[in-house]
Homo-oligomer: A and B are copies of this chain.
């Protein structure tokens, strides 16, 4: 198994849909081409921002195939493969590996949340890691699953040799610090939101996976680089500016806002799938303001990004 470096910034790419609601192959290609200009460590495909929950089986595989085609082999493609059943998770992980995924990002099963004891969760993740030919990452996403994996659960899972890290979107940085202190140094910790990127780095995270990296990749990379160079004043200043733009395209308005911002930037955003609606006009105006306050101009409809 190759040694995967999980250092740096990873955008979790949205899945673009065309006017008929089908996957927009050219939109995807264009977006990945744009992102390819930046020093990103890799990409997450089929994450929460990728509307994995809205795709059927065929679309899931087709998207992976297309994404891999446009992601250079020297950039990691991490693929969300978590399903409620262990078997389906294993199956999708196999398929993802076959289609060129470098690692699998596995959400905890959450439908029967009342029954998801630590023991059940640990056995699930270990079964997936046992079966997978590619390395596995834990994906803690309480905002979507309604379950927050605790440090003890993650540390038990992290002992498995095929588990290489976690994307944690919960924002509990004390937990990230605990993971850093007690997990093997090779276990990678990735901040799951740009809202706490620098705080996570301050306690030993290796990088981050966040929506904002799709539309403001350079500031996100700059935070990482400033931190690497111990230039804390710069890192802090950028981090503080990014909090509201990040909240706008995640907690507040989610994927519809992320896609709206991409459209404004001349990238391919398009409409999310129902039940999500395109961002309302009044929120578009607020979105432009929030980004303007942070020094990012969404109003220009910048064709040069295509």
Using a CB–CB cutoff of 8 Å, the interface residues on chain A facing chain B are: 21, 48, 53-57, 84-88, 91, 109-116, 120-121, 123-124, 127, 143-146, 171-174, 177-178, 180-181, 193, 195-196, 198-204, 230, 232, 235-236, 239-241, 243-244, 246-247, 251, 253-256, 273-277
Nearest 9 CB-CB pairs, A to B?
A: A174-B195, A146-B146, A199-B199, A86-B274, A124-B275, A53-B84, A54-B85, A53-B111, A181-B240
A274 proximity list for chain B (CB < 8 A): 85-87, 123-124, 127
A110 to B178, CA, bound (A): 28
A196 touches B181 (CB 8 A): no
Closest to A142 in B: B146
In the bound complex, what is the Cα–Cα distance between A241 and B174 (angstroms)?
11
Q: A53-B111, A54-B85, A275-B86 are in contact. Are A174 and B203 (CB under 8 A)?
A: no
Residues from chain B with Cβ under 8 Å of A180 in the complex: 240
Instruction: List the B side residues contacting A86 at CB < 8 Å.
Output: 273-275
> What separation, in Å, do the CA atoms of A275 and B146 have in the docked complex?
17
**Does A53 lie within 8 Å of B85, measured CB to CB?**
yes
- Taking a contact as CB atoms under 8 Å apart, the answer to whether A21 and B239 are in contact is no
Contact A21–B87 (Cβ < 8 Å): yes
Question: In the complex, are the beta carbons of A255 and B177 less than 8 A apart?
Answer: no
Q: Which residues of B contact A120 (CB under 8 A)?
A: 275-277
A95 → B minimal CB distance (Å): 12
